[in-house]
Amino acid sequence: MKDVKITVMKMARYDDLIALYENPIEHACDMCIGQVFISHGGEKPHAMCESAWESMAAFAAELARGGGDFYDGWMKNKHSAMISCNDGFRPVSFLLEAVDGDAENQL
């Protein structure tokens, strides 16, 4: 099984939708651009948002098994995926990349 490096690439915030539909909540998302998580063997990284993980878990598991090439050539690197969390008010885009060896030493 491979490790999967998960990098926060972009974060959006839709204040107009928040004002119209969301009840106020604290700490809706504590991630920051450039933050990196490591999934060992397709497992949820410690401190990864549960909702974000649910959006990417199947892709991380497939990359950890050595698979990829999602959607018949979608990504330039077939051992990667660009996945967004399912928060419609403040979506976060993550780059998932299969890495060989100890991913934590490659950071």
- Residue ranges per structural domain of the chain: 3-106
User: Residue 72 has what pLDDT?
Assistant: 92
Q: Cβ distance 31 to 92 under 8 Å?
A: yes
- The pLDDT of residue 105 is above 70: no
Give the per-residue pLDDT at 25: 87
For 100, residues 6+ apart whose C-beta sits below 8 A from its C-beta are 2
Q: Supply the pLDDT for residue 26.
A: 83
3-state secondary structure at position 49:
coil
